[in-house]
Structure 1
Amino acid sequence: MENQFILPTPPLPLTPAEEEKLRGRLTGFKGGYDEGYLRGRLAILDGRPEAPLPVRNIHVMYVASGKGYPYSPLDDAVLFAIQRLAAQVTITDVRQNLVELAAAQRPDLVLVLDGMDLPLEQITTLRAAGIKTAIWLTDDPYYTDFTMKIVMHYDYVFTLERNCIDFYKGLGCSEVHYLPFAAHREHYRPTTTRSPINRDVSFIGSAYWNRVDFFREILPELMSYNTVINGIWWDRLPEAPLYGERIEIGKWMSPQETAVTYSGSKIVINLHRSHIDEVVNNNSLMIPAVSPNPRTFEIAASGTLQLCDARDDMGSFYKLGEEIETFASPKELMDKISYYLTHEEERRAIVLRAYERTLKDHTYIKRLDQMFSIIYG
């Protein structure tokens, strides 16, 4: 019997339903690969220990804000850094008698966070006793009507707003220094396993009126993606009831919960509050804000793409277009959301560069080392 060559049976053409199912599987496979690759790279970077910095032979008395949440996470971050950079640390808050405590402990430096509720005569007494005093202001320039009354009582003033430097110097403060906040790695870090959150876009923050007006202009288009907005006062947004739980009203999120949400979002919007807000601000001189807010560093530390409204001093911290993306209008924001949700490699590259930059330059340990270098040389 002669050998017979049997032609293979050609595959049957896929039905439209089968084609759709196959496309879905391929899309899901690629999405899983992209997420796994990004989280793997982030895990490698996250595993690198922070470069050790010298421990100074100083005794620091740290005076916490005493305001509770949301200031308490800032206290945690600052204190964490001080304890790794100073030989001795005494912890207290604005409700305690600092003069008596300092007389017993004899610190070299009293560092106050916020300081709005601290009796100023105590600072005067500490300075008269030869103890250095410093204040790190938390909300510049939004409450300068209050801070202008307290800054001249300190030896060193640290502000997170560049535009407040000359303002405080004009009041008679000789040592005014620009020191923005940073990322606390114990609070903000990427989820390096499969994330429990899966969003296209997130925004977390209070509904200041400039944010309400900005989002109203683009809300239908923005919410056409898998977008969720969290924060207090969002009942100011008339359209909020249309989106149910996707606009969470009145919810405060812990730093850890915020970090998980950031990390589980492909894009996080960072829209700064306005320096003009008659309802909540106390900035009668209308000092404009040009410096990045703390969220700038916290979002980058969580391993996600940040789209941030353009601020003049942003380029001092991240390379624009390489480590952070900015927008100057609602339309530009939506254009960039559309672009980066369909260009995974470009999004991933910015995420990784921003994360690496943050670990290198923008942690609280780096900031406190800079502060101590200014005070002690």
Structure 2
Amino acid sequence: MAEDNFVSYMKEQGSRVNKLLEEVLSDKNVDQNIEKLLGRGGYDYDTDAIEKSVMDPAWYLISQGGKRLRPVFTSLVISLFKKNPDDYIEFSIIPEVLHTATLIHDDIEDRSVKRRNVDCVHIKYGLDIALNLGDFMFYFPMKALIDSSKLENEQKIKIMQLYIEDMLKLGIGQGVDLAWHNFLINPNNISEENYMRMAFDKTGALLGFAAELGAVIGGATDRQIKLLGKFGATVGVVFQIKDDLLNIEKSNVSESKGGVGDDITEGKITLLVTHAIKEADEKDRSRLLEILKSHSSDPKLKEEASNILIKYNSDGYVEKIADSLINDVWNEVDKEFPDSHGKELIKQMVGFVLNRNF
């Protein structure tokens, strides 16, 4: 497969990222890491308490794995500017830690029980610890940025500006998604354009930030930063569309998140659903919305809702949308940057996202 080189690179770079994450988040270096983060004040820290309430649950989730797509993406973008990404690997973990924070909060908001085939953080450690940990992880990785001597102050300020903008987008997108699956808005009034705006904000923000981070480190122009941010956000949206597709069939994605149709139990208004609402007859539309509103975990009801989506070719429709989105923005990136090994791996990453079945 064309994506094999990218997959190998992702595994190799992911292994480096994992080692770095273990250094800063496992219970091996609690004293040292707290001193780096906060310095030494006049009172002693209760490191046992910090270990049990912060480091242990953080490493519990991080150590379950994941594709590490965000740090890999940051590294590849850095390489577009003829810099060695390994020289900046400590920055590549920033979007991964932020992503992990969003997973903790998402699982609470979605009332999820499983994540990566194990108990969610709030199930294993409690709601209070999970909420606090998510908050902590939104801020802690930026410390590496502030303390670094590798970047100019102008670069640090630019990254912080982008971080704030993207986190605001994420919060707004998540808020819209929560309003939808709690049926605070009539689903019949949610357009495809509404969905795309929500998805670019909620799902695209962190991959967009991962690309912007790499671009600023690489020395990109403002125009290039904007283009790569748009590209990253689009990759995020396409990744989400693939997730939604894999969720309505038996796959590693659906099994790791609570079984086939878990999005249906949550009442998620996905692109599949917005298309089906528009195309279905009154009977099927009403039945689909009835099942979504019930938040039922009954496998028969989830299968019935999935079959309605498939009946109106919503799966085929969103596949075409995903292909079109990513190909259009890739053409812009392709024209902007000269051929290189990093660029070829980014192209393969696009194929990986489009063709993945896990």
TM-score normalised to structure 1 length: 0.27
Which has a greater percent of helix? 2
User: Rg: which structure is higher?
Assistant: 1
**Structure of greater relative contact order (alpha carbons < 8 Å, 6+ residues apart):** 2
Which has a greater percent of strand? 1
